[in-house]
Amino acid sequence: MRQFLITALFVSVAYAQHQPAPQPTPPPANKGPASEDMAAVVRGQAQFKQTCGFCHGEDARGGRAPDLTRSTIVNHDVNGSTIKPTVRNGIPEGGMPAFPSLTDDQLSDIVAFLHHQVYVAKHSAGVPSDYPLAKLLTGNAAAGKAYFDGAGGCTRCHSVTGDLAGVASRFTPLQLQQTMVYPSPKTVTKTATVTLKDGTKYEGKIVHQDNYNIGITCQDGWYRSWPLSDVTVKVNDPLAGHRELTSKYTDADLHNLFAYLETLKK
């Protein structure tokens, strides 16, 4: 069984938007830090259950979608800096819908609840704040470098002296494993070239994409959209290579590649 935790960050479904309002929710059983606003946590628990619980579980520990207490989006959040825009705007390319109807107060309550759950997870008896590096570092760094430079095709997009310089210092070991296998869509720009029937081409960042329409912010700054039936679309998705590798990796490849990336410290 694959030993790496592959986290598809913040996946949800629109079905949750249409669920009936939850009944009053009792306070979480585990206490958080003394500075915590427990009233906000309780409200956030109820809102999370209604909006996100269908996929992530009512306690945010995972269900159809991943455990959010180990999500990089949640753990890197400061006062809603990453959680709020993710919930409000969604991650279309990751399958997560947007929830634009939520108010800022409702989002703040969800943030309070998620931070509470992270705190509880990290301070529960017998649960470490992160997996020890010694238990994860089982691969061969030299073999990992060979895979990075060769069969993995990693050098087509990455450079150990550029975007990956010091990467092992920027992430905990567990976060590095997760990001290595499935980077957050929030960290990349997905673009498209749209060709009209008369041959006119537009290029730009994808703002909206579904089964029927494509919308991009073009290089001149204007937003344009078209029915897919009227245009030809070529998508440039920086994460496509990562998704392809998930079906090709062996356990040895993953362990070796992680061992190599762990050597990239400042």
> Which of 68, 98, 123 is a domain's end point?
123
What is the pLDDT confidence band of residue 178, given thresholds at 50, 70 and 90? Answer: confident
The predicted pLDDT at position 96 comes to 83
In a domain, 128, yes or no: no
Judge whether residue 16 has pLDDT over 50: no
What is the pLDDT confidence band of residue 33, given thresholds at 50, 70 and 90? Answer: low
Same domain, yes or no: 161 and 250: yes
In a domain, 165, yes or no: yes
Residue 103 belongs to what domain range? 14-123
How does pLDDT run across 123-158, given as a tens digit for each residue? 765 555 566 777 778 899 999 999 999 999 999 989
Judge whether residue 100 has pLDDT over 80: yes
**224: Cα separation from own chain's centroid:** 27
The predicted pLDDT at position 259 comes to 94
Same domain, yes or no: 71 and 114: yes
Q: How many domains does the chain have?
A: 3
Question: Once rounded to an integer, what is the mean pLDDT over residues 37-46?
Answer: 93
Task: Write the CATH number for 43.
Answer: 1.10.760.10
Average pLDDT along the chain: 82
The predicted pLDDT at position 90 comes to 86
The predicted pLDDT at position 24 comes to 40
Same domain, yes or no: 36 and 54: yes
In a domain, 182, yes or no: no
In a domain, 93, yes or no: yes
Same domain, yes or no: 115 and 92: yes
Same domain, yes or no: 138 and 206: no
Same domain, yes or no: 73 and 37: yes
Task: Write the CATH number for 209.
Answer: 2.30.30.520
**Cα–Cα distance, 96 to 94 (Å, whole number):** 6
- Which token pair is 144? 């990992």
How does pLDDT run across 207-249, given as a tens digit for each residue? 988 889 999 999 899 999 999 999 999 999 888 888 888 778 8
Same domain, yes or no: 232 and 137: no
Same domain, yes or no: 92 and 21: yes
Three-state DSSP class for residue 231: strand
Sheet holding 231-236, edge to edge: 223-227, 213-218, 201-209, 191-196, 231-236
Nearest by Cα to 133 from 255, 9, 250: 255
Same domain, yes or no: 39 and 116: yes
Same domain, yes or no: 50 and 156: no
In a domain, 179, yes or no: no
How does pLDDT run across 62-89, given as a tens digit for each residue? 877 788 888 878 888 888 998 999 999 9
Question: Once rounded to an integer, what is the mean pLDDT over residues 101-127?
Answer: 86
Same domain, yes or no: 64 and 114: yes
In a domain, 4, yes or no: no
**Cα–Cα distance, 191 to 188 (Å, whole number):** 10
Same domain, yes or no: 39 and 91: yes
The predicted pLDDT at position 2 comes to 42
